[in-house]
Structure 1
Amino acid sequence: MSPHPLTSDGTELGPLPHDFPFDPTHGYDLPRLLAVEAPPGPDDFADFWRERHARARRVDPAPRIEGPWTTVDGVRIADISYVSVDGVRIGGWLTVPADGGVTQGCVATHGYGGREAPDPRQAPPGTATIWPCLRGLGTRSLLPGVPANSAGHVLHGIDARESYLIGACVADVWCAATALQRLVPEAGGRLTYLGTSFGGGIGALALPWDDRFQAAGLTVPTFGNHPLRVTLPCTGSGESVRSRLAEEPSVLDVLAYFDAATAARHIRIPVHVGAALFDPSVPPPGQFAVHNALGGPRELVVLRAGHFDHPGERAETAALEEAQRQFLSPSR
């Protein structure tokens, strides 16, 4: 198997030029990436998450439409908000087919850059989608005292598993699903998930415990295999975690409960993964650890690069999104 990706005619693509002070492949070729395993996790890993899920399901999300509907390209769009755990109101958007033909629902999350608007093209036709800005992020869910940048957000509350902000962001996903079912009841029959980067890792942590979700697409997911991840330099949120770990080694004990690859061991629904060979922001071994650990049907699209402008990126992204739309289609 070639260590570099191939073009459609079988020509090998060489390594991508860059000026990072580290190798964004970290020396892993595809065979080695496909062999990365997931940490087993603490003995009470599943119990910890099931209890958090049960707590989130008891929340009344009290969803609201917060403004007029607009229609763009056959999709109706509205600002929405809902209540998540700890009484935090989360902002976002709701998109529904303008013709009213809803065949499924979707919770679609974002990367650490947040989200300024929904992108209804990502989901299959006929999908009612809720697009939350998870707490502390985006344009709709900023919180006092919570850093909106990835370096600070990923460390917020990291001293204890109960206070770590990532756990509350996962709960925001579960509460978003409840809010969507309240706002669009016909979306409740089949629920899917889409998440990229930060949202990909959050999705892996959220999916095993909520049987409302029936399929998912995760793109360049983060938070995979923390014990390995913290040894790999990067330009993303993992770098601030690496720095904190050097000062406070006990942080790794907390991170063990928030490992997306460990959680993926518990996922049984079909999951589509887009994972990159080269990624300065989210080290590829962590991405592939999530894919490799999945416990149910899975499909993999290998990307030449993630979080990095490169030749052919637009076509690669379009092909990935089409593959995910097909994978998440209720007629599949």
Structure 2
Amino acid sequence: MTFPAPYDLWFSDAAFDGSYGFTLDTLRAVAPVPPAPGFADRWRGWRESARSTDAVPRILSSSDRAGRRVSLIELSGVDGVRLRAWYVEPLAEAPRVGVVHSHGYGGRERVDLSRVPRDAAAIFPVARGLGALNVDVGAPEEREAHVLTGLSDPDAYVIGLCARDLWLAGDALRELAGDLPLYFVGESFGGGLGALAVPWDDRYVGATLVVPTFGQYDERLAAPCLGSGEHQRRHVQRHPEAREQLRLFDASTSALFFRIPVRIEAALWDQYVPPPGQFSIANAVPAELLELQVLPAGHAEYPGLGRVIVDARRAGREHLERSLTAAAEARD
């Protein structure tokens, strides 16, 4: 199989083309899915309902590392299930911002502070069902079972619950650290959850979404892949009615409602999260709010990856600072 350059050299043994035949120009033309009737009302209703659930964060254990305290905590999800997460706070000063930092599919083994300023408090929630902290808690861990759990009932669909749990993570962070402005960071699975959850939460001043998933289901369901979308694609082939059930959980639709600065790092080649889905989320964000970094590839090793990661993390921290400044100026 022949791939476009430089992927013909980087991924010569790949089973299929992770660009799916798209170029940057055609990716920038992928339209988000318009809201179905009642889309915004449903998400606003879920947000309002979540306000009545108390996160009740409880610190289970703590240790100090390089000027920060890292605590294992427990908090409630939107349906009351108790989930575990990590909470991080600076030791030398009061935090000036709170970072809610989600993760990729499969969960999280440890905290990653590369996108968190030293004077920030942060919560690293682990999605229900996923490792290392919440295996089979509130949802099954196995990938296919997880991404399809509860799909027939919008109030119980696991992707919606995971997104709505992020609101409680923000509650827990502010209860522990104080009434801070929030900034969101999420990659892949976590990026898609952020696109679903953050537009409805007015505590956020900005967000970074890295190779975000759950975008543009018309494209997602047409593209065989190595990620969770493949389980959804095969399920919809067997149960065509599930295409309608997914409309409430399209991250490209929810991204149309962003009213804060959003940085998106989207990849031209990705066998796990097809690029048209990633770019559909970027294309949904109002142009004046969007900062787009185009990555050569996602979910893959390639020459120069280390420098791309370093530059992206630095740019993400700079975006956080600009978002904080813009929010402060808007208040004054």
Normalising by structure 2, we get a TM-score of 0.92
Match of 2:68 among 66, 75, 90: 75
Contact 1:217 1:324 in 2 (8 A): yes
* 3-state SS of paired residue (1:131): strand
How far does residue 121 in structure 1 lie from its aligned partner after superposition? 2.3
Match of 2:272 in 1: 281
How far does residue 331 in structure 1 lie from its aligned partner after superposition? 4.7
Match of 1:27 among 18, 21, 24: 21
Match of 2:289 in 1: 297
Q: How does 1:179-328 map to 2 (within 5 A)?
A: 179-185=172-178, 188-295=179-286, 297-328=289-320
Match of 2:77 among 77, 81, 84: 84
Computed over aligned residues only, the root mean square deviation of the Cα atoms, in angstroms, reads: 1.7
One-letter amino acid of the counterpart of residue 317, structure 2: R
Change (3 A) 1:121 1:21: closer
Contact 1:33 1:284 in 2 (8 A): yes
Distance in 2 of aligned mates of 1:162 and 1:234 = 27
Q: How does 1:133-148 map to 2 (within 5 A)?
A: 133-143=126-136, 146-148=139-141
Shifted more, 78-87 versus 135-144: the winner is: 135-144
Contact 1:197 1:220 in 2 (8 A): yes
How far does residue 317 in structure 1 lie from its aligned partner after superposition? 1.1
Distance in 1 of aligned mates of 2:159 and 2:12 = 31
Question: How far does the alpha carbon of each residue in 1:264-320 deviate from its partner, in whole angstroms, 9 at most, with x for none?
Answer: 001110001100000010000000000010135110111111111111111111111
Match of 1:58 in 2: 52
Match of 2:330 in 1: none
Distance in 1 of aligned mates of 2:138 and 2:131 = 15
Change (3 A) 1:144 1:135: closer
Contact 1:108 1:131 in 2 (8 A): yes
Distance in 2 of aligned mates of 1:52 and 1:13 = 45
* 3-state SS of paired residue (2:245): helix
Match of 2:100 among 74, 97, 107: 107
Change (3 A) 1:99 1:245: same
How far does residue 190 in structure 1 lie from its aligned partner after superposition? 1.2
Contact 1:151 1:236 in 2 (8 A): no
Q: Does 1:159 align with 2:152?
A: yes
Distance in 2 of aligned mates of 1:65 and 1:144 = 18
Contact 2:81 2:138 in 1 (8 A): no
Match of 2:40 in 1: 46
Question: How far does the alpha carbon of each residue in 1:250-275 deviate from its partner, in whole angstroms, 9 at most, with x for none?
Answer: 11101110000000001110001100
Change (3 A) 1:210 1:144: closer
One-letter amino acid of the counterpart of residue 314, structure 2: E
Contact 1:208 1:268 in 2 (8 A): yes
How many residues are matched?
320
Distance in 2 of aligned mates of 1:126 and 1:139 = 26
Distance in 1 of aligned mates of 2:299 and 2:143 = 14
Normalising by structure 1, we get a TM-score of 0.92
Question: How far does the alpha carbon of each residue in 1:111-147 deviate from its partner, in whole angstroms, 9 at most, with x for none?
Answer: 0021011112221231100001011112112235732
Match of 1:132 among 122, 125, 134: 125
How far does residue 167 in structure 1 lie from its aligned partner after superposition? 1.0
Gaps of 5+ in 1: 5-11
Distance in 1 of aligned mates of 2:88 and 2:44 = 29
Contact 1:196 1:220 in 2 (8 A): yes
